[in-house]
Structure 1
Amino acid sequence: MIDLHYWPTPNGHKVAIFLEEAELPYRIHPVDIGKGEQFHPEFLAIAPNNRMPAIVDTAPADGGAPVSLFESGAILMYLAEKTGRFLPSDLRARYEAVQWLMWQMGGLGPMLGQNHHFSRYAPEKIPYAIDRYQKETARLYGVLDRRLADRPFVAGEYSIADMAAYPWIVPYEAQGQRLEDYPNLHRWFDTIAARPAVIAAYEKGKALQPAPTPLTDEQRRNLFGQGGTGGSR
């Protein structure tokens, strides 16, 4: 059984998508980052960086004690190795997927996260910051669009690289982007959005997500005021 400590953000959705795709049994433990639950001691015991998602695998492959993991990219790699799915075993194909997973973790996620912050959440609208991160978002969309020009998925076959990138593209309108400007990415996006496991993962997230309202001062402190720019990684 996988215990998933989660909130429906792009990084949270990545892991839920894998678990649905692999049909692994799992339990969701909500971590409401707006309420500051990422700072609770019991969560910090498995995710010392106070970011979700995190998992605890109560039945690891070696038969030993439960394995806990934080960082969504590491979680995806662990689950892929555990199940033997969505990460090729061939050396070259494997590292095609791994390098694009690292691209998402090091570039796509952080840059689009800054786009979200300055466009939607920052108390002061700073034109330079908004313009800078929307342009970087467009550049990264272009990288992904070119990559998908001659293959159906990011690393050829559907893999954890796709699961990692897709949730960050979902809020494309809020990022100041139009999918019509990126035809290969658009085709890829629609293909993944139609997968039953992806639909199921997002439906479970919707059940947790409260209706959108302006952030309170307490939520701002919890999300942005304690050494970070959000509660997911």
Structure 2
Amino acid sequence: MADDNTDNRNQPEGYVPPEIWTWDTSNGGQFASINRPVSGATHDKVLPVGKHPLQLYSMGTPNGQKVTILLEELLAAGHAGAEYDAWLIEIGKGDQFGSGFVEINPNSKIPALADHSTDPVTRVFESGSILIYLAEKFGAFLPTAGPARTETLNWLMWQMGSAPFVGGGFGHFYAYAPFKIQYAIDRYAMETKRQLHVLDTHLAAHRYLAGDDYTIADMAVWPWYGGVLNGAYNAKTFLNVTEYSNLARWSELVGGREAVRRGRMVNRVAGPGAFLRERHDAADFNAAETPSA
């Protein structure tokens, strides 16, 4: 009987995993230059510190947008202490491997937050942790007790565990891998559509994810799954997103909020829509750029 590992469908044909894996940068696709199998800083770089106690180091990916949306929502709700500086970390250039950034987040992933209102300075990394930290700090968008708090955290943790299948899984193999692999695309498309159905089914009976109130769960889920509905990876048709009418209703509801509109601009370097490389004051939004025609 033939060894399954020699199946001629393997890519490249005949590929058999070696006994000990080693990293070959020539096989890494679009992100090979910044991916590596070890942690730690690659260069010395002190992070800038602005005038506000809250210093955010990020990029306007879905994970970065979660935090800037919450900060803008806090400011819109009257929490003046939520003023912040948002410094751009260009992950395509390897800024996340600078020594200063690694001191805040040893995992070298955006976003990362430093709260200078505490002594010593509090570092917060992982987007979900930052959302909880800020919501608790300002007493907003996270119920303090009971089923509503648990439901909010349920959906926040669901997003944290589920979105990697959408971004690192479906998005990578559908849009970014150096060649198309049907098995990988089918596997992650199936999981992405299952997740969209989870949300669509839940939102058929709920205004927001945790019930009647808008929370950090909505802020966490919207940049990812609202993005899929709005054309992330140019996959709207492929995923047939028009099937999910309840999710579309919720996505439009959340996306229509002024603080969400502002938050999703921050630390982005290109469109669609207006973008703002760095934000140090509310007036900076007046200088937001728009994509070239």
Fold shared per TM-score above 0.5? yes
Q: Contact 2:65–2:266 (CA<8 Å) still a contact in 1?
A: no
User: Among residues 93, 104, 111, which one is paired with 2:165 in the alignment?
Assistant: 111
Determine the C-alpha separation between the residues in 2 that align with 1:89 and 1:49.
29
Residue 68 of structure 2: aligned partner: 16
For 2:88, which of 20, 24, 30 is the aligned residue?
A: 30
Residue equivalent to 1:71: 126
How far apart in 2 are the matches of 1:76 and 1:36?
A: 24
Inter-partner Cα distance in structure 2 for 1:100 and 1:112: 16
Among candidates 122, 125, 130, match of residue 180 of structure 2? 125
Structure 2 unaligned regions, length at least 5: 1-52, 76-81, 273-293
Q: 1:149: Cα distance to partner?
A: 1.1
- Asked whether the 8 Å contact 1:4–1:55 carries over to 2, the reply is yes
Q: Return the match for 2:220 from 157, 164, 175.
A: 164
- Once residues 198 and 171 of structure 1 are traced to their aligned partners in structure 2, the CA distance between those partners, rounded to angstroms, is 16
More helix by share: 1
State the partner residue of 1:209: 270
Shift of 1:69: 0.8
Shift of 1:135: 1.1
Residue 202 of structure 2 is aligned to residue 147 of structure 1: yes
Aligned pairs for 1:170-185 within 5 A = 170-172=227-229, 173=231, 174=233, 175=235, 176-185=238-247
Identical counterparts, % of pairs? 44
Alignment RMSD (CA, Å):
1.5
Note if 1:199 corresponds to 2:261: yes
> Normalization by structure 1: what TM-score?
0.84
Aligned residues: 206
TM-score (norm: length of structure 2): 0.68
How far apart are residue 210 of structure 1 and its match?
7.7
Distance 1:150 1:210, change over 3 A: closer
Counterpart residue number, 1:186: 248
Query: What is aligned with 2:56?
Result: 4
CA–CA distance in 1 between the matches of 2:271 and 2:218?
A: 27
1:171 Cα deviation from its structure 2 partner: 3.5
State the SS of the aligned residue for 1:120. helix
| Rg comparison, structure with higher value | 2
- How far apart are 1:20 and its partner, in Å? 0.4
CA distance in 1, matches of 2:96, 2:246: 37
